[in-house]
Amino acid sequence: MTPDQARAVLQEAIAHVVPGADLSGLAADADLRDAFELDSLDFVEVVEQLSGIVGFRIEDHEAESLRTVDSAARFLSARAPAR
DSSP letter for each residue of 19-36: TT--STTS-TTSBHHHHT
- The pTM of the full predicted model, rounded to 2 decimals, is 0.88
CA–CA separation, 49 and 16 (whole Å):
8
Distances (CA, A) of 65 to 19, 21, 31, 52: 23, 20, 11, 17
pLDDT at 47: 96
User: Domain residues for 33?
Assistant: 3-79
pLDDT at 80: 77
The full length of the chain comes to 83
Report the largest interatomic distance among the alpha carbons of the chain, rounded to a whole angstrom. Answer: 31
Residues of the chain with pLDDT under 70: 81-83
pLDDT at 81: 67
- The CATH number assigned to the domain holding 48 equals 1.10.1200.10
| Partners of residue 68 on adjacent β-strands | 31
Total domains, the chain: 1
